[in-house]
Every structure is written in C-alpha cells, then in structure tokens.
C-alpha cells in the first residue's frame, strides 16, 4: 500500500530535476501522473532547458514503477496549454487529486535596477505567473471534487533575499503570497494549498555554466548569500 494509491497527480516542469523526482516518487507511492514541460528553449535563458526526450524519460521511469503517465508539452506562460494538459489527463484518468506547481527557471542577473524588462517579465511570468496559471487550471476540478491538495514549489529564495537575482527572488516571494491566499480561499472545499521551499538542488537549474559562476568565485558567496 502506497500513500497515494489510486490518486492522480498533475506536475509541471516534470521532464527532469525536481519535477521528475516528484513524478517518480508519486508513482512509487501508487499514483498515476499527468506530467508537463515546455520541452524547448526560452528566449534569454542562458542554460539548456528540458527536451521532449527528457519528458519521455520521466514517463518511462513512472511506468517502470508500474504506474501510468500522461504527458503534455505545455508552457506555463500559456493558460490554454495548461488547461489542455489537465483535460488530457482527466480524459485518461477521470479524476485529479493533487497538483505540484513545480515549473520554474532561474537567471543570474545584474543589480535590480539593471535587469532588462525582458528578463524581469520572463522570470516572473514563469515562476510566479506559471504557478498562478497552474492553480487556475486545476483548482476548479479539486473544488468540484471537494478534496485534494496543491503544492507550490517555492524556494528558500521566497523566504530571504539573495543578491544577484532580484527577479527570481521577487517571484518566489510572490509564490508564497499566492499560496497563502489560495489556501484561505480553497479550504472550505476541503482542498489544501501548501508550499515547499528547497535550497540549492542538484539539478540543471544550478548545474550549468551560469550557475557555476556562484561557486567558482568563493569570494563572492558571502555577499550573495548572507542576506
């Protein structure tokens, strides 16, 4: 018996990293999953994002655990693509029990007043806007069902300041505010909304040439990380 036997979990950003770990863990606990990822580059982001092959690998890992996976290429900046992914999963499984709003990206930027309009919009629209749209796409089904759970993947960056990526820190703080208000508004329908705030995770969001800049220059770390 698993903790999630018979349940269905919807996960964004599931092609690799944390999202893949969420999907495989849910499968090990008995859940079927609906997994999405953008599977393409995003303009201005200086490290490689996940591919369709990565998403297919997550599906294979879920199926190796004896569970089913429905996959969809979806951009969390696009409400219609998220709505379509949810509909695809509902057609296959007939229910939805839990949501993990995991999709995100990161940018090591200049000082706050030097961030370009494009990079501000890109990072905040994926990290915060994507969480909002994921909730918007899934919450009505949980409300109708009168039960379920939403988990927003925030960050330690949602709890404290970190010099060097103001747009990301601002968006993650916003995720916590969104989570708190959603929790208040959805509780009457027997649905929970919580957040997890990880620190640095061994995933491609950090393990790339841009992320390595933080760790190959140790003299910079006290300034960046001590706020």
pLDDT at position 211 is 61
Among 78, 71, 64, 81, CA closest to 14: 71
| Gap between the Cα atoms of 175 and 150, Å rounded | 12
Supply the range of the domain harboring residue 107: 8-225
Task: With respect to residue 180, please indicate whether it lies within any of the assigned structural domains.
Answer: yes
Is 2 part of a structural domain of the chain?
no
What is the domain count for the chain? 1
Would you say residue 3 lies in a domain?
A: no
The CATH number given to whatever domain includes residue 17 is 3.40.50.720
In a domain, 108, yes or no: yes
Q: Strands across the sheet with 32-37, in order?
A: 69-73, 32-37, 8-11, 98-101, 148-153, 191-196
pLDDT at 224: 44
Q: Is 168 a catalytic residue?
A: yes
pLDDT mean for each 10 residues of the chain (227 residues): 95 97 98 98 90 98 98 98 98 98 89 95 97 98 98 94 91 98 98 92 64 56 42
pTM for this predicted structure: 0.91
- The three-class DSSP label of residue 84 is helix
State residue 212's pLDDT score.
55
Q: Is residue 1 part of a domain?
A: no
The predicted pLDDT at position 170 comes to 97
Query: What pLDDT is attached to residue 148?
Result: 98
Neighbouring residues of 2: CB distance < 8 A, sequence distance ≥ 6 = 28, 29, 30, 31
Catalytic residue selected from 47, 165, 168, 189: 168
Residue 54 lies in a domain: yes
């Amino acid at each position: 018996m698993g903790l999630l036997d018979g349940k269905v979990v919807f996960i964004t950003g599931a092609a690799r990293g944390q999202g893949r770990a969420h999907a495989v863990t849910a499968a090990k606990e008995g859940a079927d999953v609906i997994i999405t990822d953008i599977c393409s580059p995003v303009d201005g982001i200086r490290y490689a994002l996940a591919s369709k092959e990565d998403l297919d690998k997550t599906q294979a890992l879920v199926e190796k655990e004896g569970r089913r996976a429905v996959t969809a290429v979806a951009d969390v900046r696009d409400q219609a693509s998220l709505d379509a992914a949810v509909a695809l999963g509902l057609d296959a499984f007939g229910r939805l029990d839990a949501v993990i709003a995991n999709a995100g990206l990161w940018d090591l930027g200049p000082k706050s007043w030097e961030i370009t309009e494009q990079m501000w919009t890109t990072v905040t629209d994926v990290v915060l806007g994507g969480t909002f749209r994921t909730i918007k796409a899934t919450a009505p089904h949980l409300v109708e069902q009168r039960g379920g759970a939403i988990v927003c993947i925030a960050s330690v960056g949602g709890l404290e300041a970190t010099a060097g990526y103001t747009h990301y820190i601002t968006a993650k703080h916003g995720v916590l505010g969104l989570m708190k208000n959603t929790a208040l508004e959805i509780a009457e329908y027997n649905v929970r909304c919580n957040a997890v705030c990880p620190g640095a995770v061994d995933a491609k969001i950090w393990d790339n040439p841009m992320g390595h800049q933080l760790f190959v220059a140790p003299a910079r770390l006290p300034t960046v990380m001590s706020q």
